[in-house]
Every structure is written in structure tokens, then in C-alpha cells.
Chain A
Amino acid sequence: MHEMSLCEGIVDLIAEEARRHGFARVKSVMVDVGVLGHVDPQALAFGFDVVSRGTVAEGARLVIEQIPGAGWCMDCAKTVPLAERFGACPECGQHHVQMTAGDELKVRELEVE
């Protein structure tokens, strides 16, 4: 359950932003989670409910946008979709692909009042 520590990271980030921007309540939290990363969105949502209790983020809706995997194929010289980390290029079948998307783990924006 490393999602719990990630949720603590999210709640800490929100507390810092609350001090900086002076808001008292968070309605929703938009996070980007890459599908090729090591985070389970369901576990993240569950953990966030638990960890945010008693903080400025309590009751906020966690909106998880799953970012599809993509990579730069060096042989085809273009960006191609990636279904797995270090997977083959779907067009040429070679493994000369550098992952460029799908590993995201960040808080993009907050809806606050």
C-alpha cells in the first residue's frame, strides 16, 4: 500500500498551497497518474479519503486522470502508443522505444474556495 504514502504527499502539497494561496476548503483535486507507473488509482482514491480527514483537503473529490503510455520509437522516428513499459513499437515491432508518457504522478490543479 505505497498509495497511502503517496496520499500523504498529496495532502502535504495541498496544505502548502493552502498557506500560499489562502484557501480554506478544497472541492476537488486533479491528479495525473500514468498507466505505466506503479500506482493503482482505486487504492489512491481509497487512501486519499482516509489520509485527508482532519485536513484542509477533507471531503475533496479526487479526480484521477489516467495518462496513456507513449514513447519515441527511434527506428520509426515518431511517437507511438505504449501498452507496457519497455514494450515494443506497435508499428515496427522493435524495442528501440524511449518512454515519453505514462509514468506521471503529479497534482495538476486544485479547485478551491
Chain B
Amino acid sequence: MAGLSQTRIIEIERDILSKNNGFARTNRDRLKQTGTLALNLMSSPGSGKTTLLCRTINDLKAKFPVAVIEGDQQTSNDADRIRATGARAIQVNTGKGCHLEALMIGHALDALPLDNGGLLFIENVGNLVCPAGFDLGEAHKVVVLSVTEGEDKPLKYPDMFAAADLMLLNKSDLLPHLRFDVGACLAAAIKVNPHIQTLVVSAETGEGMAAFYAWIEARASVSRASAVRSDG
């Protein structure tokens, strides 16, 4: 009836993250076109993520074309460090935002040409909370923890470790100087996520990095094999 206000209930039952998940699906389809393996790297600030990434690129660039999307609230310092390795890099500044979202990755991909069968590293904003909930369209989430942090971090930030497929325990070269129980840390991660794989590495000395590269290469060959080539 006109003029009469009528209150009604509309049932919608919609996931609040559905919009982000839609953009993530679009990114995933797009990455499939080039058979690109995309890894979403997450950690707290100062875990050595960028150093780890620079070393990885230097060691793998002869085998794979590598591109990087760098997320930070401010500055292009990290993208500059990555470009020094010769890899293509795009910096996404999230401003006040504490994590990357799928649409930001979509825009970054518009400006970042990808070669077939390559690697795309997405370095998320340093934060162990928010990035866990936002799918970017990556194949795997990789969480980096360093031995200068608490060994109980997987228990303190369970969402992040539950979402990750691989945990890299970085800065292992510092272990002789610290009281850090590696076994307790790995046990904490596995308690939160029984399926998580763990590697102990040092991006500084290169210790353990070969195992990470083997992990990447195995997954990159799957991405290459499942590529949907437009010429195909």
C-alpha cells in the first residue's frame, strides 16, 4: 500500500567475503592461462621475508621467469630490492589497509606481464592476522616465521597457520645465539594445522633453502601442466 511503511525480513545467507572470493577466482583463472604458480607469502614484520624472496629469485631465476607483487602500507623500498634481482616487481601500497585483497592483485596483474610457466610471489603486508582471511587467487599460502620470534606464535595466531600450506622457519643461522625450541615451534604449527609442511631455513646462509626450491619446483610443474593455453 502506498504511503504505508512495511517492515519485512529478507533472508540472504550470503558470505561476507563472497565479493573478494569472486575476484580471487578471476585471478586464479587468469594465472592458469599462463600456467603460473602463485604463492602468497605472509609473516609478521621483520621475519626476513624480502631477504628470503631475493635469495629465492637469485637462485631460481635461471629456471623460471619470476614476477613479484609487493604489498606494504607505504614506500616502494621492497619492490626496489626485488627489482635489483632482475625480477619484475610491482608495489601495491595498501595505505591504511592491513592486508592485500584479491581486487588489488587483479589490478597489479593488469600492469605485470607474466611469462608462461613462471612463478609469481605475492608478498603480503607484514601481519599475522588479517591476510589469513583473504584469498588472493594464489595456489598456496606460505607463512614465514623467524626464530627471533616466539615459538608459540602458531598458537597465538592460529588462523594464519591454519590457512597456510607451508611454514618456513627462517633465520636458523641465529639459533646458536638464542633459546628457541625448534621442535616445540613445529609441534605448535602441526597442532593448529595437521596438514602444514614445515622447513627450517636461513635466507642469510642458504641453509635449508634447497628443500624450499624443491617444494616450489614440484608445484610449478603441476601449474605448468594444468595451464589452459589460449593457443592450445
Contacts and interface: CB of A to CB of B under 8 A. Distances in A.
Contact of B12 (A4, A86, A109): A109
Interface residues of B, number: 33
Contact of A107 (B5, B6, B14, B99): B14
Interface residues of A, number: 29
Contact of B11 (A12, A23, A109, A113): A109
A65 interface: no
B159 A9 contact: no
Interface string B1-41: 00001111111111111111000000000000000000000
A23 B99 CA distance: 33
B162 A113 contact: no
A12 B99 CA distance: 19
A17 B98 contact: no
Contact of B130 (A2, A9, A106): A2
A35 to B, nearest CB: 12
Contacts of B20: 5, 9
Given A38-B133, A86-B192, A9 B10 contact: no
Closest 7 pairs between A and B when the two form their complex, measured CB to CB: A2-B130, A38-B159, A9-B16, A109-B11, A113-B7, A110-B10, A85-B158
